[in-house]
């Protein structure tokens, strides 16, 4: 499970951070602004929210505060650069927690980071953000959208955004507030942060983790997509105005692999977590290379 549970903490400073997290989750109005939080404070809050990621786990990765959410919580980031003795390697951007109520999409990234901490071979240059939407996750009741009520996966600047995003939202979703695209493209600091990382890092592939459709999606240039990662099989879902798949995959021509886990609140068994990761590495090794043209940014 990846739901709330009391963490086991011994160090006094970790107990202090946990107490601070409890104060942030005290009853109050939904969407209340806690004020800017450091990387350490955000880790404490994450550890107070997820059962499979403690504050100590989060802190152990020594992530940096790369950006801020609308409410000033840290967007945490870690890079695993290629080893010096290797030639230039393909760059892979991994995004978890774009939707704040998809707990498993956050937790599984932390599990994979533990693999990289122990076994990073320099085969790829990784840039990993386990929680892009901290405001959504860290609400008293977690929500898909960010603190402004915007679905970050509908807020990218695609050419059809102005003409189609609002119409699509109204006609196709019935004005579902969980899929509100915002009042303007890139109106949200979290979606701007993702765009800026794509522009600067110029990834050769993007891996975005979601839940709970239990499938594998792919958008991007003509190539052979992975047919299976673990038990998840390829079932293309198409793209939407303002979605990452349409922006990075179709417009920037970057392969975008979307992993849709089967359950938003429960992690797959450890063996399945490992199998998805191993299958992903095998596909990247054979289909993503530093010699391919990365995104040029916009």
pLDDT at 83 over 50: yes
Q: How confident is the model at residue 32 (pLDDT cuts 50, 70, 90)?
A: low
Mean pLDDT of 28-57: 83
Mean pLDDT of 128-143: 97
- Position of tokens 């950006």? 67
pLDDT score for 296 = 54
- First-to-final CA distance of the chain: 40
Which pLDDT tens digit goes with each residue over 146-200?
999 999 999 999 999 999 999 999 999 999 999 999 999 999 999 999 999 999 9
* Angstrom distance (rounded) from CA 126 to CA 128: 6
Q: Rounded to two decimals, what is the model's pTM?
A: 0.87
Share the mean pLDDT of the chain.
88
Q: How far is CA 170 from CA 163, 174, 179, 188, 247, in A?
A: 13, 5, 10, 20, 21
Mean pLDDT of 14-30: 38
pLDDT score for 294 = 63
* Angstrom distance (rounded) from CA 158 to CA 150: 16
pLDDT score for 36 = 82
CA 126, 53, 67 angle in degrees (round to 5)? 50
Mean pLDDT of 83-108: 91
pLDDT score for 295 = 56
pLDDT score for 13 = 44
Q: How far is CA 258 from CA 71, 127, 248, in A?
A: 27, 16, 12
Which SS3 state, helix, strand or coil, does residue 154 take? helix
pLDDT score for 39 = 94
Which pLDDT tens digit goes with each residue over 240-271?
999 999 999 999 999 999 999 999 999 999 99
Looking at per-residue pLDDT, the higher value among 136 and 293 belongs to: 136
Nearest to 135 by CA among 265, 25, 31, 247: 31
Nearest to 176 by CA among 208, 154, 194, 209: 154
């Amino acid at each position: 499970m990846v739901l709330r549970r009391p963490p086991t903490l011994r160090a006094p400073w970790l107990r202090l951070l946990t107490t601070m997290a409890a104060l942030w989750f005290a009853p109050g109005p939904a969407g209340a602004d806690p004020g800017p939080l450091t990387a350490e404070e955000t880790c404490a809050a994450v550890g107070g929210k997820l059962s499979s990621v403690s504050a100590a786990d989060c802190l152990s990765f020594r992530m940096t505060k790369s950006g801020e959410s609308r409410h000033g919580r840290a967007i945490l980031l870690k890079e695993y650069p290629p080893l010096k003795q290797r030639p230039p390697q393909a760059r892979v951007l991994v995004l978890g927690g774009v939707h704040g109520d998809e707990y498993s999409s956050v937790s599984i990234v932390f599990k994979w980071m533990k693999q990289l901490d122990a076994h990073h071979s320099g085969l790829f240059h990784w840039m990993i953000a386990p929680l892009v939407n901290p405001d959504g996750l860290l609400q008293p009741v977690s929500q898909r959208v960010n603190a402004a009520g915007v679905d970050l996966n509908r807020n990218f600047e695609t050419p059809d955004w102005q003409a189609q995003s609002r119409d699509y939202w109204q006609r196709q979703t019935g004005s579902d507030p969980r899929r509100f695209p915002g009042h303007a493209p890139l109106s949200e600091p979290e979606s701007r942060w993702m765009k800026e990382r794509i522009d600067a890092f110029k990834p050769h592939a993007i891996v975005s983790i979601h839940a709970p459709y239990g499938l594998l999606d792919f958008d991007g240039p003509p190539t052979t997509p992975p047919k299976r990662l673990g038990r998840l099989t390829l079932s293309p879902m198409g793209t939407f105005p303002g979605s990452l798949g349409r922006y990075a995959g179709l417009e920037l021509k970057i392969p975008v692999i979307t992993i849709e886990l089967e359950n938003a609140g429960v992690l797959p068994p450890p063996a399945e977590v490992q199998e998805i990761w191993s299958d992903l590495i095998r596909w990247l090794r054979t289909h993503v290379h530093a010699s391919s043209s990365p995104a040029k940014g916009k």
